[in-house]
Amino acid sequence: MARYNKKKSSGSLGAVALIVLAAMVLSSVIGVAMGNTETGKTPAPAPSNTVTPSDVPSGNNGETVPQNGADPEPAKEPTAKEKALSRQDFTIDPATGMAKEIKIVDDNYTILVNRTHPLAQSYKPDDMVTVKYVVSGVGKKGETDQLRKVAAEAFEKMVEAAAEQEINIKMRTGFRSYEYQKDRLYDPEVKNKGQAEADKATARPGHSEHQTGLALDVGGESQKYALSYEFGDTKEGKWVAEHCHEFGFIIRYVDGTKKEPGKLTGYVFEPWHIRYVGVDVATEMYELGGGKLTYEEYLGILD
Ligand SMILES: [Zn+2]
């Protein structure tokens, strides 16, 4: 009985030792640290001493790399920022300081245009339509009554939603070409006020968001649809500030005041100037900044 027990005991010790040895070898291979209560009876295999916790991730990572050479990164949708800057393949003409080439893909309504991110002189959207609700006589049914289709439809929806609450708004100016910006606005402003003053409120040609066909100036009935710094205090201006994001618009120059241009946007505050960026981006910006976040801050472009 004692003999049998001893034999059995010896056999079972041998089995334990074998299991422990196997486990330690395994642990050294897969890099998993295991508790060993039998160290007095079983010599620890040398390799296990070289395995440290810091070895674990690289060992395990090696096992997860696909062997077939396929790209492990799934194709990602470009972010708003990537889209906003997607015409960075443009080249600047040193003679004019203007972008020479520009590519704007059809759905790229998040493009950033400001003092440091110009459009090419020749850029003109090819999907513009005449907006239904315009102040008559401003654009004389010309290009300035137009916006890119996506922005026009969003604005019309916004006007109709406002009207249901007895808020009446209309577009004053939509698209402005490079030439319009230069000949009708910027050059005359420079002549009248000098360049420094002109730059505070009027975009240089190629730097106006109006050239994207995604920005517009809006007026309200209580001010006879005029452009006014007080628009923001009217019921129409307040409604626009509160609701335009629901239709994909942002008020653009929110870091400026009536007199001082904003540090990021570079322009005085224009409560009437709204820009289409899509409902997702506009809503996110509204939630982040309550209507006070600039597009530059949202995109993280602070130069
Ligand atoms: Zn404007």
Nearest to 243 by CA among 163, 189, 182: 163
**CB 147 within 8 Å of CB 213:** yes
**Number of folded domains in the chain?**
2
Span from the CA of 146 to the centroid of ligand 1 (angstroms): 13
**pLDDT score for 212:** 93
Span from the CA of 276 to the centroid of ligand 1 (angstroms): 12
Measure CA of the first residue to CA of the last residue in the chain; give whole Å.
89
Residue-wise pLDDT tens digits, 270-300 = 999 999 999 999 999 999 999 999 998 888 8
143 assigned to some structural domain: yes
pLDDT greater than 70 at residue 61: no
- Same domain for 86 and 60: no
Q: Cα torsion at 229, 231, 233, 238 (round to 10°)?
A: -140
Residues with CB under 5 A from ligand 1 (ion): 217, 273
pLDDT greater than 80 at residue 231: yes
- Same domain for 164 and 101: yes
Separation of alpha carbons 220 and 235, rounded Å: 8
pLDDT greater than 70 at residue 185: yes
- Per the listing, tokens 């209309």 go with 170
34 assigned to some structural domain: yes
Dihedral sign from CA coordinates of 224, 228, 234, 237: positive
**pLDDT score for 163:** 98
Span from the CA of 241 to the centroid of ligand 1 (angstroms): 15
pLDDT greater than 90 at residue 242: yes
- Same domain for 108 and 6: no
73 assigned to some structural domain: no
- Same domain for 92 and 34: no
Which domain-ending residue is among 64, 99, 116?
A: 64
Span from the CA of 271 to the centroid of ligand 1 (angstroms): 9
**pLDDT score for 203:** 87
At residue 153, the 3 state secondary structure works out as helix
Tell which wins on pLDDT, 74 or 55: 74
Dihedral sign from CA coordinates of 182, 186, 190, 196: negative
**CB 243 within 8 Å of CB 279:** no
Mean pLDDT comparison of 81-85, 104-108, 166-170, highest-scoring range: 166-170
Tell which wins on pLDDT, 80 or 64: 80
Here the CATH number for the domain that contains residue 130 is: 3.30.1380.10
Q: Average pLDDT over the chain, rounded to whole?
A: 76
Span from the CA of 148 to the centroid of ligand 1 (angstroms): 15
> What's the pTM value of the predicted model, to 2 decimals?
0.68
Which domain-ending residue is among 34, 64, 94?
A: 64
- Same domain for 191 and 120: yes
Residue-wise pLDDT tens digits, 120-161 = 888 889 899 999 999 976 655 688 999 999 999 999 999 999
- Same domain for 175 and 233: yes
- Same domain for 198 and 54: no
Query: Of 52-66, 124-138, 154-168, 187-201, which range is least confident?
Result: 52-66
- Same domain for 105 and 55: no
19 lies in which domain range? 2-64
**pLDDT score for 120:** 80
- Same domain for 235 and 92: yes
- Same domain for 59 and 119: no
Span from the CA of 79 to the centroid of ligand 1 (angstroms): 26
- Region 202-220: mean pLDDT is 93
**pLDDT score for 100:** 52
- Same domain for 173 and 91: yes
Span from the CA of 210 to the centroid of ligand 1 (angstroms): 6
43 assigned to some structural domain: yes
164 assigned to some structural domain: yes
- Same domain for 182 and 133: yes
